[in-house]
Chain A
Amino acid sequence: MDLRFIDTYGSIAILMIAALGFAVAPLAMARVWAKKFSPHKPGPVKNATYECGLESKEETFLRFRPEYYLYAIIFLIFDVEAIFLLPFAVVFTGLTVGASIAMLIFVLLLVEGLVWTWRKGILTWV
């Protein structure tokens, strides 16, 4: 191997090994300590879900429905569309054919998205 390569990247390799050791050594020491001295003591109350000392009443691994999140995203998209539509309407009479078509495609893309969300039932609240 080219010696210059080791000269250039050798220090980086040493640093990487040191960094790895720095991260792994405490974890390994903790594991050895647990094996040698400190016994593992789990229990039903200790492993229970933390609820400020109260017992959890129902299933804790429940799903949160992302309906509002989807609503917010759709609102954001059409909000931005409105910002684009206003200057479009102001300069509409002076626009070239190309610009009008480009704007039309932009609006059509968003309308397509609206149709998609509508059909998917996202606009119906629960």
Chain B
Amino acid sequence: MDPDLKIELRRQGIFTTTLEELYNWGRKSSVWPLTFGLACCAIEMIATTMARYDLARFGAEVFRPSPRQADLMIVAGTVTKKMAPQVVRLYNQMPEPKYVIAMGACAISGGPFKQGYNVLKGIDRYIPVDVHIPGCPPRPEALMDAFITLQKKIDAQPLTGADRPRHLNADEPSEFVVPQYGAHDLVPAKNPKLWNIITKPTSKECMAGVDESGKD
């Protein structure tokens, strides 16, 4: 439907909608997060749900203690390699449609502990992340901003067509590979279907970077 016509009709007191809009409106207005905190970011997440910031205004106050009832996983904090299989398994156990917010520098990339031998360098190596929030830790406002971004993303998802989301596509998997503890690292170290961005720079490229901007 033509959006201008829709606005004109609404001005005249006639409300028109589509099944897709109703469906997405319902979904985005009741996203239930998983009760799941890993580190200090979880404290900010808790603060976001409390009276001062009140995430309930966006329909997300019902934190479910079981992945079976949750729609959203907020990865709030440092994911250690010991914890990564559990995080992925919990994500796999959530029913579709499911979404992930990577909250804070650690969940995005390992953050200040990136060089640590036991820290996963970003949860998006194993599960598809919808919204990343930088910060260490991000303030509740940042989490709310991420949540509103996610709502906009849900609102724009089409019901049919080639670019429909994963949960409406029978060919796409709803489970992702759960890493195992290896001798030195998790096996596999990443899910290649999700994470194929990193290419190791050659020593020549590294030196070129130093030459250009190395003096500081």
Q: Which positions in A face B, CB cutoff 8 Å? A: 37-39, 41, 43-46, 48, 50, 52-55
Nearest CB of A to B171, in Å: 9
Contact A48 B93, beta carbon cutoff 8 Å: yes
- Nearest-neighbour CB distance to chain A for B124, whole angstroms, equals 18
Q: Which residues of A contact B90 (CB under 8 A)?
A: 52-53
The distance in angstroms between the C-alpha atoms of A46 and B167, with both chains bound, is 14
Complex Cα gap A52–B173 (Å): 22
Which residues of chain A are within 8 angstroms of B66 by Cβ–Cβ distance?
A: 50
CA distance A52 to B38 in the complex (A): 13
- Chain A residues near B160 (CB-CB < 8 A): 37
Q: Please indicate the chain B residues that have their CB under 8 angstroms from the CB of A44 in the complex.
A: 175
Structural contact, A53 and B173, CB atoms closer than 8 A: no
Q: Contact between A43 and B167 (Cβ–Cβ < 8 Å)?
A: no
Sample of 15 further A-B pairs with CB below 8 A, known A52-B86, A54-B89: A37-B168, A41-B96, A41-B170, A41-B173, A41-B174, A41-B175, A45-B92, A45-B178, A46-B93, A46-B174, A48-B89, A50-B67, A50-B68, A52-B90, A53-B89
> Does B87 touch A at the CB level, under 8 Å?
yes
23 contacts between A and B (CB under 8 A): A37-B160, A37-B168, A38-B167, A38-B168, A41-B167, A41-B170, A41-B173, A41-B174, A43-B92, A43-B173, A43-B174, A44-B175, A45-B89, A45-B92, A45-B178, A46-B93, A46-B95, A46-B174, A48-B89, A48-B93, A50-B68, A53-B89, A55-B89
Counting chain A CB atoms within 10 Å of each CB, the highest count among B86, B93, B170 belongs to: B93
Chain B contact patch, size range: 20 to 34
Assess the B93–A38 pair: CB atoms within 8 A: no
3 nearest A-B residue pairs (beta carbon): A53-B86, A39-B170, A41-B174
Q: Is residue B144 within 8 Å, beta carbon to beta carbon, of the partner chain?
A: no
A50-B68, A52-B86, A53-B87 as given contacts; A45 in contact with B168, CB under 8 Å: no
Chain B residues, CB < 8 A from A53: 85-87, 89-90, 93
A45 CB contact (under 8 Å) in B68, B93, B170: B93
Q: Provide the residues of chain A in CB contact with B174, threshold 8 Å.
A: 41, 43, 46
Give the distance in Å from the alpha carbon of A38 to the alpha carbon of B170 in the complex: 8
By beta carbon, the residue of chain A nearest B66 is A50
Smallest CB separation, B79 vs chain A (Å): 12
Question: Is B87 touching A46 in the complex (CB atoms < 8 A)?
Answer: no
How near does chain B come to A50, taking the closest CB pair, in angstroms?
A: 6
Q: A43-B175, A50-B68 are in contact. Are A37 and B93 (CB under 8 A)?
A: no
